[in-house]
Amino acid sequence: RRAAGPKVMRLLHNECFLLRLLRHPNCVAFVGMVADRAKRPRYCGAVMEFMRGGNLQDAYEEAVVEETRLPWPLLLRFLLDIARGLEYLHGLPPPGPIVHGDLKAQNCLLSAPATEEGARVALADFGLSELHAETMRTLTTASTVVGVGTEAGPSSVVAAGRGTARWLAPERAGRESDVRPTKASDMWSFGCVIVELASHDVPFAAAKTEAEVMACLARREAPAVPDDVGMPPQLRKLMGECLEADVEDRTVTAAAAVRRLERLVRRAGGDAEGGAGGSGGGGGGGVARGGAGGSE
């Protein structure tokens, strides 16, 4: 729940507007909105699908505390779930596609504890997400959702924050940068999530402050994974393609990542078709027309 000042209300409405469009096993389902008008200040919030397993960052940190590691077959299935969620978002028809804008392990939620059979990963926290600019402008007018996208500049969702520094693509990391999130910047963040799950630590772990992280990005450095973690070579190659510092060279797509991860999961003895999430490939599902947030 959040105190419902005007800015918070705009951000919450923007996020709910995005969430009500999504229908995919690897994106957390939106249930509705709630408000407590009796309180001063007013409180409001979004009601989401219950993901009882917590988030992936907590899962790998718990493994570190227990002096163990999440096994590679499990990590590969989780990465496949994340890639399928991204493929779905990036491939949505109008009013899509949707760019997540703040992808990290902390925003990847588990339907059950990580080691429980059938645990599924779903993307969450779409507060920095953005729809395709032209369709967003059209639907903003039609749906009376305020403060989303205008011809004058970036949406308030994006202006409110650029994502978390350790997962931020270099082209978006300049102090004065107003570069909007893109599919390519999402793929950089996906590469950073690969770093997280492989190393069981945050990207740029040696950097202790945001300023140090920004300095690494200014030097066009990419986060690295130690050589001694047993990382499959094909996954390391995919990670490298996601972490190309120049956006023009970062041509790997979420759809391509799904196909490659499906092969890796099969080789590891998992079920790529069912996977941890059982989504059976991205891009499925439709765009919901209605639900909380008003009609179009």
The answer, yes or no, to whether residue 12 has pLDDT greater than 80, is no
**Does 184 have pLDDT greater than 70?**
yes
How high is the pLDDT of residue 127? 57
CATH number at residue 118: 1.10.510.10
Tokens of 35: 């408000």
The mean predicted confidence, pLDDT, of the chain is 79
Q: Establish if 18 belongs to a structural domain.
A: no
Burial of 265 (0-12, 13-18, 19+ CB in 10 A): buried
Residue 79: per-residue pLDDT: 99
**Chain segment 232-277, per-residue pLDDT in tens:** 999 999 999 999 999 999 999 999 999 999 999 999 985 444 444 4
User: Is omega for the bond preceding 113 within 30 degrees of 0, making it cis?
Assistant: no
SS3 99: strand
Predicted confidence at residue 166, as pLDDT, reads: 95
Residue 125 within a domain: yes
Tokens standing for 231? 């990382």
205: in domain = yes
Range of lowest pLDDT (48-62, 93-107, 156-170): 156-170
From residue 79, alpha-carbon distances to 21, 75, 151, 192 in Å are 23, 6, 36, 11
Contact 88, 122 (CB under 8 A): no
Residue 24 resides in a domain: no
Q: What is the residue-wise DSSP string for 106-172?
A: GGEEESS-TTSTT--EEE---TT-EE-HHHHHHHHHHHT--SS-BTTBS-HHHHT----GGG--GGG
The better pLDDT of the pair 209, 175 is held by 209
pLDDT at 143 over 60: no
Higher-pLDDT residue of 183, 289: 183
- Please tell me the predicted confidence (pLDDT) of residue 14: 74
Could you give the percent of the chain with pLDDT greater than 70?
Answer: 73
Identify the CA nearest to 255 among candidates 243, 267, 238, 270. Answer: 238
Residues 86 and 126: their CA atoms lie apart, in Å, by 12
| Number of domains, the chain | 1
Least confident of 97-101, 109-113, 148-152, 268-272: 148-152
Average pLDDT over residues 152-162: 31
Of 102-111, 180-189, 286-295, the one with minimum mean pLDDT is 286-295
Give the pLDDT score at 263. 97
Instruction: Decide: residue 251, CB within 10 A, 0-12 exposed, 13-18 middle, 19+ buried.
Output: exposed
Domain assignment of residue 261, yes or no: yes
The domain of 82 spans 51-132+164-272
Per-residue confidence (pLDDT) for residue 289, from 0 to 100: 29
| Domain assignment of residue 157, yes or no | no
Burial 115-151 (b: 16+ CB within 10 A, else e): eeeebbbbbbbbbbbbbbeebbbbbbeebebebbbee
Does residue 101 lie within any of the structural domains? yes
pLDDT higher than threshold 60 for residue 34: yes
Stronger pLDDT, 287 or 165, i.e. the higher one:
165
Asked if residue 183 belongs to a domain, the reply is yes
Contact 168, 244 (CB under 8 A): no
Helix (H) and strand (E) counts in the chain: 9, 7
pLDDT at 156 over 50: no
Please classify residue 167 by burial: count the beta carbons closer than 10 Å to its beta carbon, then call 0-12 exposed, 13-18 middle and 19+ buried: buried
pLDDT tens for each residue of 63-81: 999 999 999 999 999 999 9
